[in-house]
Amino acid sequence: MIIEKPKIKVENLDLYYGSFQALKKVTISIEEKKITSIIGPSGCGKSTLLRVFNRMNDLVEGIRIEGLVEIDGENIYAKDTNMVALRKKVGMVFQRPNPFPLSIYDNVIYGPRVHGERNRKKLDEIVEKSLRAVLLFDELKDKLDRSALSLSLESQQRLCISRLLAVQPDVILLDEPCSALDPMATLKIEELLQVLKNDYTILIVTHNMQQAARASDNTFYMLLGEMIEYGPTEQVFTNPKDKRTEDYITGRFG
Amino acid sequence: MINEGIRATFDQELKELSDQVMAMGITVMEMIKKSMNAFNKSDEKLAQEVIKLDDRVDKYNQDIETKCVQLLATQQPMAKDLRIIASTMRIISDIERMGDYMVDVTKFARRLMGKPKLASAGDVPKMAELVEKMLQETLDAISKKDLELITKVVEDDENVDAALRNMFDTAMLEIEKRPLSAREAIYQLFMARYLERVADHITNVCERVYYMETGELKELHV
């Protein structure tokens, strides 16, 4: 698939955990302000690929990466890459909501505070803006001092997204963000993503095929560390070009 | 790593769906055959049977549509599975129309019963034979997933169209020469016209089969 001005560009990416090659010559361009879903069976490398974009994999011992990964035209694996700036720019949301055991307010301002913001008025503004973006502000504005852990799982996941928005990222990575949520909460998070994509480039790893079909603009199918197919979601789910994609999305691949 | 058994239940249901579409198509073929026998032999009883068969076609239509909706709701089909079910819903409505047209053909055959046959009376069964063959080949193409056969059927529609044009000319001449047999000529022309419509619906089915197999929605009719 040809993407004119990609937000993220990956070329011939090989990734090894020791002697195991987890990603093989992956080449993909991610469209700006669109939702791209990465699907594939367990162990296909989709979470590994997601973690390439904020260099979370760097924390794994024995990891080796070859190839090019650019965000906004900048090689994020260059020697002089500012990791703090990169992780600010590329935020991540995980399977299980992971709010800090702090108040709702302190959760949201955690990032800005780490980045040096001290002005109370500014911080208040950030909290309102970030919680509004995830449609939680009206519900929580009088309860900001309550523990974040008292919220429902769905609200906790929203809070985690707002915590990430507070540091003004460009790219949001979501690794199975709804797998701990019930179906209604899942749909609500998906709706939220549709709103967020006006401002952010979103990548989502999901096992839920219906979620990829419903919520994403482009779909990327991976198998054994390789890219098998990448295309507009409606095409991939109605008329996949590769037999292996067909087998996977119709549930005939075990 | 391909495990054929993973969706065994769903695969079985898709197979049953396809079997039912076949049975529905075969019923319409039976209608064509019986209708022409009724016409040739002026057999009122056979004509009645054709009209009864249409009830069976309508029942298939309802049952298959219901099944399709159930499968959409319960199996969340994707890719080819989705195309099969979506196409089936369109195909059965085309076959249902074919049944309706065969009832119309038969009604005109009944009106002609007991009347002297026109010289051109043999043209109608000849055309029906072409149409029946098109339907037979379409059903074969569905079961064998044979796209070449699909293309051939669509081309055959040209012959049906040509036959209708000829029959139109013949009817005009007939009416001009023997105005007293105008009624018979017009009835016969109507039969031909409805048969030609059946062939059009067959080409619609062909387009759906093509889509089902390739994912490409295109006008095969040129």
A138 pLDDT band (50/70/90 cuts)? very high
User: Domain B8-214 class?
Assistant: mainly alpha
What residue spans define the domains of chain B? Answer: 8-214
3-state secondary structure of A250: coil
Nearest-Cα residue of chain A relative to residue B86: A238
Q: Specify if A150 maps to a domain.
A: no
Contacts of B81 in chain A (CB under 8 A): 250
What integer pLDDT is reported at residue A181 of this predicted model? 86
Backbone φ and ψ for A25, nearest 5 degrees, come out as: 45, 50
Helices (H), chain A: 46-52, 83-89, 104-114, 120-133, 137-140, 153-165, 183-196, 209-215, 233-238, 243-249
Q: Of A210, A246, A254, which has the smallest distance from its Cβ to B80's Cβ?
A: A246
Q: Of A238, A249, A254, which has the smallest distance from its Cβ to B1's Cβ?
A: A254
Mean local confidence (pLDDT), A123-139: 94
Contacts of A247 in chain B (CB under 8 A): 2
What integer pLDDT is reported at residue A252 of this predicted model? 87
Determine, for residues B83 and A238 on separate chains, whether the beta-carbon distance falls below 8 Å: yes
Distance of CA A82 to the CA centre of its chain: 20
In the predicted structure, residue B2 carries a pLDDT above the cut 80: no
Mutate to test the interface with B, among A208, A252, A253 (most CBs of B within 10 A): A252
Distance of CA B203 to the CA centre of its chain: 9
Residue A94 to residue A175: CA distance in whole angstroms:
5
Mean residue pLDDT of chain B comes to: 95
pLDDT, one tens digit per residue, over B51-99 is 999 999 999 999 999 999 999 999 999 999 999 999 999 999 999 999 9
For residue A195, what are the contacts with CB-CB under 8 A and spacing of at least 6? Answer: A133, A135
Mean local confidence (pLDDT), B135-149: 96
In the predicted structure, residue A7 carries a pLDDT above the cut 90: yes
Backbone φ and ψ for B78, nearest 5 degrees, come out as: -130, 165
Nearest-Cα residue of chain A relative to residue B85: A238
In the predicted structure, residue B3 carries a pLDDT above the cut 70: no
Q: Specify if A151 maps to a domain.
A: no
What integer pLDDT is reported at residue B1 of this predicted model? 44
**CATH number of the CATH domain containing A229:** 3.40.50.300
Percent of chain B with pLDDT over 90: 91
Look at B49-53, B113-117, B206-210 and tell me which has the smallest mean pLDDT.
B113-117
pLDDT, one tens digit per residue, over A82-127 is 999 999 999 999 999 999 999 999 999 999 999 899 999 999 999 9
Determine, for residues A253 and B1 on separate chains, whether the beta-carbon distance falls below 8 Å: yes
Is there a contact between B141 and B150 (Cβ–Cβ < 8 Å)?
yes
Q: What is the span of the domain harbouring residue A54?
A: 6-99+158-249
Nearest-Cα residue of chain B relative to residue A253: B2
Mean local confidence (pLDDT), B102-111: 98
Structure-token pair, residue A167: 């540091």
Q: Specify if A68 maps to a domain.
A: yes
Nearest to B134 by CA among B151, B114, B112, B120: B151
3-state secondary structure of A49: helix
The tally of domains found in chain A comes to 1
Is there a contact between A217 and A244 (Cβ–Cβ < 8 Å)?
no
What integer pLDDT is reported at residue B220 of this predicted model? 86
Residue ranges of chain A whose CB lies within 8 Å of a chain B CB: 209-210, 213, 237-240, 245-247, 249-254
What integer pLDDT is reported at residue B46 of this predicted model? 97
Q: What is the DSSP string of chain B?
A: -B-TTTTHHHHHHHHHHHHHHHHHHHHHHHHHHHHHHHHHHT-HHHHHHHHHHHHHHHHHHHHHHHHHHHHHHHH---HHHHHHHHHHHHHHHHHHHHHHHHHHHHHHHHHHTTSPPPGGGGHHHHHHHHHHHHHHHHHHHHHHT-HHHHHHHHHHHHHHHHHHHHHHHHHHHHHHH-GGGHHHHHHHHHHHHHHHHHHHHHHHHHHHHHHHHHS-------
Mean local confidence (pLDDT), B146-170: 96
Q: Specify if A153 maps to a domain.
A: no
Percent of chain A with pLDDT over 90: 92
Mean local confidence (pLDDT), A131-157: 95
ipTM of this complex: 0.80
Instruction: Report the 3 state secondary structure along B8-19.
Output: HHHHHHHHHHHH
In the predicted structure, residue B100 carries a pLDDT above the cut 90: yes
* B150 or A254, which is more confident: B150
* B206 or B9, which is more confident: B206
Determine, for residues B79 and A250 on separate chains, whether the beta-carbon distance falls below 8 Å: yes
Q: Of B2, B82, B83, which has the smallest distance from its Cβ to A247's Cβ?
A: B2
pLDDT, one tens digit per residue, over A65-75 is 999 999 999 99
Determine, for residues A213 and B78 on separate chains, whether the beta-carbon distance falls below 8 Å: yes
Q: Specify if A135 maps to a domain.
A: no
In the predicted structure, residue A19 carries a pLDDT above the cut 60: yes
Provide the phi-psi class of B42: left if phi over 0, else alpha when psi is between -120 and 50, else beta. Answer: left
